[in-house]
Chain A
Amino acid sequence: MNLLQLVMKQMRQRALSSWLTLFSVMLGVALAISIMVMRRESQHLFAQSDFGFEVLVGPSQGSPLQLTLNTIYHMDQSPGTLPYSVYEQLVAPPPATSASATTTSPAVPSSSTADESAHMNYAPFVKIAVPIAVGDSYQSHRIIGTLPSMFGFDELGKPLGGYDGLGQPITGEKQADTFEYRRGKKFTLSAGRMFDSRKFEAVLGSDITARTGLKLGDEFQSTHGMPLPNQTPDVHSAKWKVVGILSPTHTANDRVLYIPLLSTYAIAEHEEGERIQQLIRQGLDPAIARRQVEAEHAQHDEKDHDGADEHHDAAAEEHHGDEPAGHHHHHDHEPYTIRPDGTIAIELPKKDWSISAILVKTRPHQTMNLLYLFQVRQGPSAVNPAQVMFEFFNTFFKGTSLLLLTIGRLVTIVAAVGILVSIYNSVSARMKEIAILRALGATRVRILSLICVEAGLIGLVGGLLGLAAGHGLAAAGSVYFNQILGEGIDWRTISLDEWGYLRDVVIIALAAGLVPALKAYRSPVATHLSGQ
């Protein structure tokens, strides 16, 4: 019978005590390991820098973090809106006299003034820009109004160069430089087609069907905002038809319903909201702006009821001048009409459009220049999402996780003290047994080894069980992250740090065993043999 067999048999003899000690070690290790995995993976998840765009342009209010979380992870409230014209300034073709696109020096043209055309400033730095408008939801899933260019299609829903109708790259053709949600990764359709940017159509993120039951051909109505559980949802009357399903991206985008940006301006509440924000931007107090819009709205209704149907919004004409005859108002208060071809004619003038954010892929080496330009101008803010997330992780998450890790390690030490107490007590109860082993020829060193091996074994087995349980906890964390972010974490990989920690646990357990082992080592054999 070797030492290990003897230890195992003795542990089995004191099964309850052994298991409880093992369990306490397992808990400590599981806590520490799960924190280590979450910390590593959170860094990967939050401090990632492989976004397919370098700059997020958002409203002046709100923090960079709020803008980033809201735009990329679809978390938190939208910090506000910015005029659609900012998007136009970003994508307008630069005049011949504009700054070179390859300029690498800090790009603040000396002629930059508040009233200067933005075309002179933004466009040279921008490769691709995609606007988004958020605010509505469907069954607690975010609805985003955007342009088909986000998915590699033009305004009419036709694929941009190098892509087929499903958004898949055509072999052999040079791919067009279209939007990427992550570096090198573009949205593709798995079924259906891209929405027509002028109709009440929608494409769904890959998880939406499973989570809401919506499928191709179905229609849905959006809910204003994201109502809380005790709030009565304000459901808009407009209906969007599902025409396409996106392939999985394994990001938060999979839980989003995408609709044409234009269709978001066809919602009465949105129109009112846009008008209020326009007045606020003009310097009006928010309360006064709201009252004024309500008054305007009441006046508009009165006109409608007076049979002034011929009233035609000049702004709508401006953008949709080919308003067909025979159109009708969808609703007394609906600020849009539907043309015979199914496209939407909205009343809200384009100058009053507002959006939530713009995702910008810059030209090479122009990111800092564009950020700097937005910074020196009073107006919309622009942030680098990779930098924001990195700073967020470093200032908030890293410190917190370090604290948790310290707690996890302290728990392990408490567990080690548990080993010490448990084995110490068992040694006290086993003095006669130890004396018998000595009488049978076991040396003091052998007895010392016996106790230490028992402690080390509890540390090792408890550590391995804790490693498994810790990764189990991380797997649960992955499910949680997946629910809130649409992205899970790699909870399976065991890092070198974890193996190092496990080694430390065994060493600590051995050290804890040394105290009772020394007690056994020093115990007088004859005294304990004589006791009956």
Chain B
Amino acid sequence: MAENRKESMSLKLVNIHKQYEAPDGSVVPVLHVPELELASGDQAALVGTSGSGKTTLLHILAGILLPDSGQVIYHLPDLPVQEITQLSEAQRDRFRGRHLGYIFQTHHLLWGLSAMENVLLGMSFTGRRPDRAWAEHLLREVGLGQRLHYRPGKLSVGQQQRVAVARAMANRPKWVLADEPTGALDEANAQQVLKLIRSLCQEISAGLLLVTHDLSIAEQLGRKIELQSVNRLD
């Protein structure tokens, strides 16, 4: 697939279908993405009504879920093209750990670990030696240089989310997938966290696909992709 390499294109989805089986046995289609292309370093907002499949799409992009059909193709610098639906689950896990960063709506930190350890945890599954200096740099960048060894319970909600941002950047991912990262924050904190995510993505040259309900946040990103529950991509 080396001949398919195209520098300007980093991520491509082709004819993605996903449906779930309802408790009554009926089949409920939740997602159809005919085609989507994102260039390396793009910062895009994914918007849509509730139930339009935004989180499902993010899970498919992360390799957490497999689509019922279609392709998810990553063109990453210095790496062969990866069609992740063709990878085994373990390969997808490793791919996600090394090349993708994931930010949840709620921070999803481990409560038994300090801020520093939570960031180092993000480095634990790559097979590479954890880079403490980089972890510390990230935490300083998100304004937690004085709280490296605080456990999540000792941090505010905004600070917790900033630790989650630092953790997502821990392995210098090529793409950062953020699922409503500011959804649980007040306006001021939301803007601050968005700013941090964007600046850190730029620092590590990562693309960003951010799910949001907040149109003002979506407007700040370079591109807005609307996902509709009717499964029509605009």
Contact = CB atoms under 8 A, between A and B. Distances in A.
Given A1-B117, A9-B112, A432-B108, A440 B90 contact: no
A439 B117 contact: no
Contact of A6 (B93, B104, B121, B122): B121
Given A432-B108, A532-B106, A441 B120 contact: no
Contacts of B171: 441
Interface in B116-156: 117, 120-126, 130
A436 B90 contact: no
A56 B111 CA distance: 73
Contact of A440 (B56, B59, B65, B102): B102
Contact of A444 (B55, B90, B112, B122): B90
Contacts of A529: 59, 64, 104, 108
Contacts of B94: 441, 443
Contact of B112 (A10, A441, A443): A10
Interface in A1-29: 1-2, 6, 9-10, 12-13
Contacts of B89: 443-444
B172 interface: no
B97 interface: yes
A6 B113 CA distance: 9
A247 to B, nearest CB: 61
Nearest to B116: A1
Interface in A226-244: none
A507 interface: no
A9 B113 contact: yes
Interface string B43-57: 000000000000110
A365 interface: no
B8 to A, nearest CB: 27
Contacts of B96: 439, 441
Contacts of B102: 439-440
Interface string A504-532: 00000000000000000000011001101
A228 to B, nearest CB: 61
For chain A, the bracket of interface size reads: 20 to 34
B59 A442 contact: no
Interface in B191-230: none
A441 B125 contact: yes
B65 A526 contact: yes
A441 B98 contact: yes
B90 A445 contact: yes
Interface residues of B, number: 33
B111 A13 contact: yes
A88 B130 CA distance: 89
Contacts of A446: 125
Contacts of A437: 121, 125
B36 interface: no
Looking at chain A's contact residues, is the secondary structure mostly helix, strand, loop, or mixed?
helix
A150 B55 CA distance: 94
B62 interface: yes
Given A1-B120, A9-B117, A529-B64, A438 B93 contact: yes
A432 B104 CA distance: 12
Contact of B130 (A1, A10, A432, A532): A1
Contacts of B65: 526
Nearest to A439: B102
Nearest to A446: B125
Contacts of A432: 108
A318 interface: no
Contacts of B125: 437, 440-443, 446
A149 B122 CA distance: 83
Q: Which of A12, A446, A526 has the most CB of B within 10 A?
A: A526
A432 B108 CA distance: 8
A446 B97 CA distance: 13
Nearest to A442: B125
Given A10-B112, A13-B111, A436-B108, A442 B93 contact: yes
A532 B171 CA distance: 25
Contacts of A530: 55
A433 B107 CA distance: 11
A526 B121 contact: no
A439 B64 contact: yes
B110 A12 contact: no
A446 B56 CA distance: 24
Contacts of A12: 112
Contacts of B108: 432, 436, 439, 529
Nearest to B107: A436
A157 to B, nearest CB: 77
A422 B167 CA distance: 30
Contact of B93 (A433, A441, A532): A441
Nearest to B89: A444
A370 B142 CA distance: 96
A441 B106 contact: no
B124 A6 contact: yes
B59 A526 contact: yes
A435 to B, nearest CB: 8
A124 to B, nearest CB: 82
A82 B159 CA distance: 93
Nearest to A12: B112
B110 A441 contact: no
A441 B97 CA distance: 4
Nearest to B97: A441
Nearest to A2: B124
A440 B94 CA distance: 9
Nearest to B105: A532
Interface in A62-119: none
Interface string A413-443: 0000000000000000000110011111111
Interface of A: 1-2, 6, 9-10, 12-13, 432-433, 436-446, 525-526, 529-530, 532
11 contacts: A1-B130, A439-B96, A440-B102, A440-B124, A440-B167, A441-B97, A441-B98, A442-B124, A443-B125, A526-B64, A529-B104
Which 10 interchain pairs have the tightest Cβ spacing? A441-B97, A13-B112, A441-B125, A443-B93, A443-B90, A436-B108, A9-B112, A442-B125, A526-B59, A1-B120
Given A1-B123, A441-B93, 13 more contacts: A1-B120, A6-B124, A9-B112, A13-B110, A437-B121, A438-B93, A440-B124, A441-B97, A441-B122, A442-B125, A443-B89, A444-B89, A525-B64
